[in-house]
Chain A
Amino acid sequence: MRGPQKAKVVEKSFIGEDVFILKLLQPFIAEECRPGQFVNVRCSPLYEPLLRRPLSIFDVDREKGEFSLLIRIVGKGTKLLSQHKEGDELDLLGPLGSAFPYNQYKNPLLIAGGIGIAPLYFLAKTVDHPTIIFGAKNKKELYTLEELREFATVLVFTEDGSEGEKGMATSKLHRLILKHDSVFACGPLGMLREVVRIAKEAEVPSFISLEERMACGFGACLGCAVKTIKGYKMLCKDGPVMRGEEVML
């Protein structure tokens, strides 16, 4: 049976005003998870909030049986998660959903927008010689940039020019994409639309990690529907990583 699992909070560290990393000890999930997949986390032992919160896996340490989540506080669920302390136990389901098909391509280009770095950090650690475009509103929202630079070639864009080039993550994508055989992206909807449009023009396959309101996370309720050219797909099971050309964004 693949029911909920317990995970111990090993470390919680704030890396911004409302962004934190939760490192969890859970050997099964650490062993099984692949970049792009998520866990569905219960925020409180009570029933308020009622639903779990789906969160992308940000980093893994398989030897220690640990994995991390990069979380921005956006509502009461993530607020409750931010209040957990070292040693606390969390209840989670996972790993869930689809992964980036990184082993089917030789030379992917990774693109992250803001907090969308979460699944791409794990992906960048997994592929050889990764190149990643990292865009954000400003320097402060380039979460974990320094760590990322240790193992990846990072092209930085900020909207206000406070770090890297001034512009959007997709500003130079039409040129940068030409050297790559695939694009893997996560970020705001506007960015993903641009990524898919540019990738289509360049005839490069794109894979995007999406968000939708979700309940079960394991394909039972059919709540997290995403419209695709093949009809509705379920984000929790057919996604969260989906083919850019198929999704009707």
Chain B
Amino acid sequence: MQKRKIIRRILDNITEKLLTISGAVTGIAILFITFFLFTEGAALFQSPQVEHGYALYVNSSNPVNTLQPEETKAIFDAEITNWNTLGGKNSEIKIFRIDDAFQIYPESELGENYELLPAKLGEIISKEENILAFLPTQYAPQGTAVKALAAKNIQPKEYFLGKEWLPTATPVPLFGVLPLVLGTLLVSIVALIIALPLGLGVAIYLSELASDKQRRLLKPVIELLAGIPSVVYGFFGLVVLVPIVQKTLNLPVGETAFTGSLLLAIMALPTIISVAEDALRNTPRAMREASLALGATQWQTIYRVVIPYAKSGISAAVVLGIGRAIGETMAVMMVTGNAAVMPHSLMESVRTIPATIAAELGEAPAGGAHYQALFLLGCILFVFTMIISISAEIISKKKTYKTH
């Protein structure tokens, strides 16, 4: 008997300890997520600009010592063709890739494990004054007339302010997140502009006008809208919304930022409606009655008394609606066309942060610059949503402050 009691006490003790531990679990989860995202993401700035394992080489007589990533890209895209644009001599740039070596020398001359390759590459570079060679560092060319261009790491400025997202471009991948950030914001904000009046209208209707019967119909409808999985929305958007947008607006393409915004507006509606309705409903009855007693109509009461009173709650609805839109992945990926371009107009394709992560993460080898760049995108998204959720909290706190 005594023994059993002791065992029970021990068990109870363990249970209580377990409860304490699990109480901390969300905190731990958040810390873990933050830690992982940021360590992986921050490592990007320790990665070289040039593709991992490669370097750029020139002839030592070449006065150019370093190239900006955009310059390198322009050269390899044949947009810059002369060294003098880069502060060098007035002569044409000769691009050389490792595969070219195999066309000059038969494989037999390069040795079994390519051990003769570095010397041959050195020979090629020494002979050609205007060469720009893009070669693996493993076979770094040997010779006195060879100069490696200074290898810099990726700069935070290039990442956060860069305007081009070309993560697999060779020889220098470009990780400019500006188009993605702006694309995400554009799609989400326009979605909110569409959804806000609609959501607010429905919320007012639900809280002020609807009869019990109508409310009993509308409430589940809104819950169901919130429950539909985003991939189903995406499928619906792809099959129905894209062609409709394209035809009715007579656009060259149907996959536009606007299509994404429309879909996101539908998806953000339930959040906006339910939060705003709660806020409206919380207006004290006495205030309404006072307004009505003074001779105001119901509508005047709503927009002069109820809405101003519920302002902070409505703002929270706005903020949470944006939060829902910003992080949405599948639906947006399926309808916006995913063009990584600085958004110029609503009627063009955009690429959002979540869609970029979803489309590219699988391909990026773990630990590479591309992988890290995607994690950093995750960090940006994480920071965005944190700001949003904290400000929603602060806004709704304000309300309780005011009432007392």
Bound together = no
Residues of A within 8 A of B (CB): none
